[in-house]
A and B are shown apart, each in its own frame.
Chain A
Amino acid sequence: MSHQTHPELAAAFTADTERTHWHDGALWFVRSKRDRAARSIPEWEQLRELAAGIKAHTMSRLADYLEQFEQNATRLGAVVHWARDAAEHNQIVHRILSERGVTRVVKSKSMLTEECHLNPYLQKHGIEVVDTDLGERIVQLRDEAPSHIVLPAIHIKKEEVGELFYQTLGTTAGSADPQYLTEAARHALRKNFLEAEAGITGVNFAIAQTGGIVVCTNEGNADMGTSLVPLHIACLGIEKLLPRASDLGVFLRLLARSATGQPITTYSTHFHGPIPGGELHIVLVDNGRSHVLGQEKFRRSLNCIRCGACMNTCPVYRRSGGHSYRFTVPGPIGSVLAPARDPKEYYSLPYASSLCGSCTDVCPVKIDLHHQLLAWRGELAAAKVLPWPKRMAMRLAGKVLGRPWLYRLAGRAGRFTLRWLPRWMVYHRLNPWGLQRELPPMPRQSFRQFYRQRKS
């Protein structure tokens, strides 16, 4: 069975008009907060330049920095592991846990472990994993994936959370007060923290110069999850490296302001070595990143610090929801990362964009997102992974637009026939373009004719 494309899944989402507007509004609210935060910093553009420069430098010497990081992290008492792909990552994490007889784990937010599908892997091997970020816990209890990388439950209404917590946490039926529901989750999660034997976290930044890792949360769940237990496993993609601790000055100033409009997250925790008497394992994951590094057009997508600003601003994401992308990272950045992983599976994503460029404008690390989306369209067409109607239409358009006489002829034919053809012959199944769009009324003369007339 063939997988569903972005337009198909987006159509299902937008079928509920009221919810679509609500979703759009919720994300625009976050985008507006980001704008206010960015404007409060006079040197904002300079920070973006610096961040892009630091990333470009780091990527140009990534192997050296990874080795330096491993050396320093090891010196501090951490154990560094290297995983070529998602499967190896999952095996490493499982081995660390099972060797110590751990069966209960608390996890704080990590898009990497989502990317590797760590939870189902561990659960299959009899290890209970509880996501501790409130939004992540909500989607976990619903047996769903996050629909946004910073706001995992942005697609869910409070009434639905109320119903979910009524069924899973025993809250009062019909209650939808965020304060009450958050309190209920706090109680339940506190129990999970106290019963856990190990904590897994993602990593926002790793510092080559010091061997430390930095984790940012608002809830404090990463601190709680790693400070009550003797075992901390931190999982990160190899692109998370920064050369110096002082580079964090730039990135921590950009991250939260871009993500939610906060000046900084509540907790920005710098882990250097394990908890006294305990263990810290750091798993460095490639999973396709070294390949993207070699692609000149797409390399800058590795600069991403996962702030989600490109999603909040994207007119397509806001109106189609994160799940319509079917990829761990949705929105513009996900639409660039996904086809790099599997072009056949995700060919429709680079088209889930109006190429308006708003994503590029808000990106704190200056990834040229809309250029990359366009470049992907070219790659996918050249690789012949697009469905044949699209390929045929493109080939036809190419032929017509490449021959002025044919273009003139087609224009004349179109102006004549479209005026007289009955509606059902123009708008039908074979014209998906016309499903939600109306052609403009056909003019009597072409632009060429009009121009010639004016000149004479």
Chain B
Amino acid sequence: MSGKHDILSAIRKQTLPSAELPDTGQVGIRYEDPAAQFVAVLPAVGGLARRVADVAELKRELAQLDVRRQAKRIYSARPDIEPGNVDLAALSDPKQLNGLDLAVLCGEFGVAENGAVWVRCDDVIHRAVHVAAEHLVLIVPTNQIVHNMHQAYQRLSFDGPSYRLFISGPSKTADIEQSLVIGAQGPRSLCVFVLG
């Protein structure tokens, strides 16, 4: 505990001018149609977005995706839309997720300004699913697209233990001569279905 004591007293020894914590409530870009903006932004972050009217159309569109047609091992958090064939409860070790071809997960909401989707990965038995899968599909309701990040945080609360994140596009890197390569460590593609 002496490390803590020393650091805190070294900080408290310094006298800094007091400064008010600014209010961040009244800022943020707004769009005429946030859902349309969200769909328009996704290709810029390397992803793909499809608007679907209802679950029936979503099922049809999903079935036609190349990554769905070629997938052998699929985990789905929405069995009513995509049955999937991987039971996460049956995997004793998350490392068995390696080789998962496709994961279908639910997004709680999307953000129009940057194409990010808020995903509660702690709802899934193995939290690595979103990044271990070769391809990722997210489903977000149309009426759950917010304009900007300030609105996003107004919706969020962090009470208990959790593992949640914004996902904007597929895994990517430009570390070799600034050449963008999709599929660095995680999913090689991301398709977001904007439902309703």
**Across-interface contacts of B173 in A (CB, < 8 A):** 134-135, 182, 218-219
Q: With the chains together, A220 CA to B129 CA distance in Å? A: 12
User: Is B60 interfacial (CB 8 A cutoff)?
Assistant: no
Q: With the chains together, A132 CA to B7 CA distance in Å? A: 31
**CB atoms of B163 and A275 under 8 A apart:** yes
**Across-interface contacts of A246 in B (CB, < 8 A):** 24, 150, 153-154
**Across-interface contacts of A189 in B (CB, < 8 A):** 185
Of all chain A residues, which has the CB nearest B174? A260
**CB atoms of B153 and A67 under 8 A apart:** no
Q: With the chains together, A223 CA to B45 CA distance in Å? A: 19
Interface pick from A152-160, A347-355, A383-391, A435-443: A152-160
**CB atoms of B127 and A266 under 8 A apart:** no
**CB atoms of B22 and A268 under 8 A apart:** no
Q: How many A-B residue pairs have CB under 8 A?
A: 254
**CB atoms of B22 and A227 under 8 A apart:** no
**Across-interface contacts of B14 in A (CB, < 8 A):** 290, 293-294
Interface mask (B103-141 → A, CB under 8 Å = 1, otherwise 0): 000000001011110000010001110111000000000
Tell me the smallest distance from the CB of B106 to a CB of chain A, in Å. 17
Interface pick from B49-57, B68-76, B164-172: B164-172
User: Is A60 interfacial (CB 8 A cutoff)?
Assistant: yes
Question: Given A263-B114, A290-B10 in contact, is the A252-B171 Cβ separation under 8 Å?
Answer: no
Q: With the chains together, A284 CA to B8 CA distance in Å? A: 11
**CB atoms of A57 and B183 under 8 A apart:** no
User: Is B64 interfacial (CB 8 A cutoff)?
Assistant: no
Of all chain B residues, which has the CB nearest A55? B19
What's the dominant secondary structure at chain B's contact region? loop
**CB atoms of A76 and B161 under 8 A apart:** yes
Question: Given A252-B149, A266-B170 in contact, is the A220-B186 Cβ separation under 8 Å?
Answer: yes
Q: With the chains together, A276 CA to B41 CA distance in Å? A: 34
User: Is B90 interfacial (CB 8 A cutoff)?
Assistant: no
Query: B128 is contacted by which of A41, A43, A228 (Cβ under 8 Å)?
Result: A228
Interface mask (B1-34 → A, CB under 8 Å = 1, otherwise 0): 1011011101111101111111010011100000
User: Is B77 interfacial (CB 8 A cutoff)?
Assistant: no
Which residues A210-253 have CB closer than 8 A to chain B?
Answer: 210, 212, 218-221, 223-224, 227-228, 238, 243-250, 252-253
User: Is A271 interfacial (CB 8 A cutoff)?
Assistant: yes
Interface size for chain A: under 10, 10 to 19, 20 to 34, or 35 or more residues? 35 or more
**CB atoms of A268 and B176 under 8 A apart:** no
**Across-interface contacts of B175 in A (CB, < 8 A):** 133-135, 138, 151-153, 182
Which residues A173-214 have CB closer than 8 A to chain B?
Answer: 178-179, 181-183, 186, 189-190, 193-194, 207, 210, 212
**CB atoms of B22 and A53 under 8 A apart:** yes
**CB atoms of B152 and A194 under 8 A apart:** no
**CB atoms of B21 and A54 under 8 A apart:** yes
**CB atoms of B8 and A66 under 8 A apart:** yes
Q: With the chains together, A184 CA to B184 CA distance in Å? A: 10
Which residues A253-289 have CB closer than 8 A to chain B?
Answer: 253, 260, 262-276, 284, 286
Interface mask (B68-97 → A, CB under 8 Å = 1, otherwise 0): 000000000000000000000000001101
Extra pairs beyond A224-B128, A228-B132 (12, CB < 8 Å): A42-B29, A54-B22, A182-B183, A219-B173, A220-B185, A223-B165, A227-B127, A248-B153, A249-B149, A253-B148, A268-B166, A274-B161
A to B CB contacts below 8 Å, 18 in the list: A41-B29, A49-B22, A60-B17, A63-B8, A133-B175, A158-B176, A179-B179, A182-B181, A219-B185, A227-B128, A246-B153, A249-B28, A263-B41, A263-B113, A264-B166, A269-B164, A272-B160, A290-B13
Tell me the B residues contacting A by CB distance below 8 Å: 1, 3-4, 6-8, 10-14, 16-22, 24, 27-29, 41, 44-46, 94-95, 97-98, 111, 113-116, 122, 126-128, 130-132, 148-150, 152-154, 156-158, 160-179, 181, 183-187
